[in-house]
Amino acid sequence: MPFGYNGKILHVNLSDSTWEIEEPSENWYRTYVGGTALAAYYLLKYLKPSVNPLSEENVLIFACSVVTGAPLSGYSRYTVAAKSPLTGAIGRTEAGGYFGPELKFAGFDAVVLTGRSPKPVYLHINDGKVEIRDAGMLWGQDNWKTLEKIRDETNEKMVRVASIGIAGEKMVPYACVQNDLEHFNGRTGMGAVMGSKNLKAIAVRGHKKLQMADPQRVKEIRKWHNDRIKVHPPNVNLSKFGTPILVKGLNDTGILPTRNFRDGVFEGADSINHETYHNTIFESNSTCYACAVRCKRRVSLKDKKYPLNKHFGGPEYETIASLGSMCGIDNLPGVAHGNQLCNLLGLDTISTGSVIAFAFECFEKGIITKNDTDGRPLNWGDADAMIWLIKEIANRRGIGEILSQGVRKAADIIGQGAEKYAFHIKGQEMPMHDGRGKTGMGMGFALSPTGAEHMESPHDVAFQGDGVSKLYALGIFEPIEPLKTNAQKVRFFVNGQKAWQINNCYGICNFCSVPIHAMTFQMLVDSIRAITGWDTSLYDIMRVSERSNVMSRVFNNREGFETEDDRIIRRWHEPMPTGPLKDQNIDPDEFQEALALYYEISGWDGEGKPTRGKLVDLNLEWLIDES
């Protein structure tokens, strides 16, 4: 009997409403474990190169891991993956909440969806029973109504629902998937892929108890971990204030993305920071399955213009910056209302804010005019304009139709030099971090297979001075210099990336896990051993994360991506104009050297392709002809 996992993968063909259950071997589970690794396996196996991401040929995967649902803080995340309609590269995005564990309790480790339903449907999984239900009455509904109606129809208040909003139905390429209104698979447009398949939602309910190899040891680790969460400073602060706490630190250090990455200091930062948040809109903490950190926020506000409803998750740091400082907006209720709208309509707030900042800068430069916006000005700091654009984008109306395609395509359509202000990597808009203040994170943006992505590796700033002691288990002993781009930085990034990706493969939240938060590498390995009963090690689980990264790279190479796509944005090569980091930039030559060194260390050739030897080393011989 497997421990920690069900040994069952559900395959659903939406074209003919059929399904079957695959039961892979234990060795297969040990090789691909879950999350991004498991998803990459199925995408490489089932997806032909060059297919239209919004065609029925795309494959959509919801993947838990062999440890998802274990009663440990943070072991709740799951991956949604497909070929991305935003980038044309591998698309994948993680979320927490309760959906992932519930899918495990319902009897499956992952769901692989192929084809396209001829009419809107939702997938209902209830204790191993699979049903494809009509979603005609849900189509056109926002995420809140969708959740309520599915709860009514299934007569089950505890059913967990991953759904899309109107933006997903209309296939906005940065539409997101969300579960239970406050947890988001935000990035790479997985909501659009669901919409293209006429799949409105997946609803799951399960009562199966997760079987673990050594439940007593898991219990001991849970107590140790949760006790540590109570005193470990980053977790203490996350519990008290959540991710909004980053606004002040990043602004004080001069790297808060402001006005489309033009500045690193926002004069209105105090109006959108954690103190203002908690004094004005904070309602209560919220959390994910079995998690003691409780970093999620709920917000409420009785306001005629910007009302806030506690049923939606409050804005996280990324959203506060993308809809706030990036757009020059210091109106926190306005930012939170924009967040609420994105949640209702099903838009990724990072891409949405970046697209709006792009539009604001184009308006400032006279590239977009009132003739393009029904007479409406798009000025920095205008919260009403930001909210109007969110609605236009989700409904693909007017200027919103152009902006709904993401900054890369929108700039192509608009022309007149708009591409100078369209900041993206591989087609995906930028998360809210400035590489000029942390060059290792800049490497992560450039090398992430999904395009610009802040979840690719730990950010270098946390390992300055004696902070590097958190990396001793990886054999990194020299303090990290955030502003340098040198061989030491590449060594840090290569190892940091593998360590960080453990969390994406095993579905563990970074806010509970290594290397920054209240988990140690030793206890992480112990937990996987206790849950699965496997004789595993840090070496083994880091190879899983490297395997995931290499499979994603092969997928992108197969789609025609080249080393030229591993880049950062123009503005990061230019000097920061103001603030504590004034005149700081990333030297283009040093950055190219760093990338070349990364390929070499990783066993990739000069064209950025994993070598035959690397594929054999990682048990990926089956991809030799694909690379």
Partner 1 sequence: MKVNVIFFATLGKNRNQEIGEVHLPKGTTVDDLLKMLMIDTTQVCTLSINKKMAAFDQVLLDGDNVTIIPPIGGG
Binding site for partner 1 (CB under 8 A): 231-234, 236-237, 240-241, 245-246, 248-250, 252-255, 274, 317, 431-433, 437-438, 441, 454-455, 458-459, 461-467, 469-470, 482-483, 510-511, 516, 579-582, 584
> How far is it, in rounded angstroms, from Cα 425 to Cα 408?
9
Which residues are within 8 A (CB) of 31 and not within 5 positions of it... i.e. 6 or more apart? Answer: 544, 547, 619
Q: Give 1 or 231: the residue with its C-beta nearer to partner 1.
A: 231
**Min. distance of Cβ 243 from partner 1 in angstroms?**
8
**Identity of the residue numbered 19:** W
The whole-angstrom distance between residue 139's C-alpha and the CA centroid of its chain comes to 25
> How far is it, in rounded angstroms, from Cα 266 to Cα 273?
11
Three-state DSSP class for 180?
coil
The whole-angstrom distance between residue 382's C-alpha and the CA centroid of its chain comes to 27
Q: Give 102 or 348: the residue with its C-beta nearer to partner 1.
A: 348
**Min. distance of Cβ 240 from partner 1 in angstroms?**
7
**Min. distance of Cβ 362 from partner 1 in angstroms?**
27
Q: Give 88 or 437: the residue with its C-beta nearer to partner 1.
A: 437
> How far is it, in rounded angstroms, from Cα 333 to Cα 612?
54
Q: Give 400 or 444: the residue with its C-beta nearer to partner 1.
A: 444
Place of tokens 């011989």: 621
Q: Give 116 or 484: the residue with its C-beta nearer to partner 1.
A: 484
> How far is it, in rounded angstroms, from Cα 594 to Cα 588?
10
**Min. distance of Cβ 280 from partner 1 in angstroms?**
17
Which residues are within 8 A (CB) of 312 and not within 5 positions of it... i.e. 6 or more apart? Answer: 144, 181, 182, 298, 299, 339, 340, 343, 344
**Min. distance of Cβ 410 from partner 1 in angstroms?**
26
**Min. distance of Cβ 204 from partner 1 in angstroms?**
26
**Min. distance of Cβ 99 from partner 1 in angstroms?**
20
Q: Give 149 or 187: the residue with its C-beta nearer to partner 1.
A: 187
Q: Give 274 or 337: the residue with its C-beta nearer to partner 1.
A: 274
**Min. distance of Cβ 458 from partner 1 in angstroms?**
7
Which string of b and e fits 296-323 if b means at least 16 CB within 10 Å?
A: bbbbbbeeeebebbeebbbbbbbbbbbb
Q: Which two tokens stand for residue 465?
A: 């001075």
Task: Assess contact for 497 and 602: CB atoms under 8 A.
Answer: no
Place of tokens 């490497």: 443
Q: Give 170 or 459: the residue with its C-beta nearer to partner 1.
A: 459
**Min. distance of Cβ 452 from partner 1 in angstroms?**
13
Quick one: angle between helices 487-506 and 538-558, nearest 10? Answer: 90
- Residues pairing with 22 in the sheet: 9
Q: Give 245 or 544: the residue with its C-beta nearer to partner 1.
A: 245
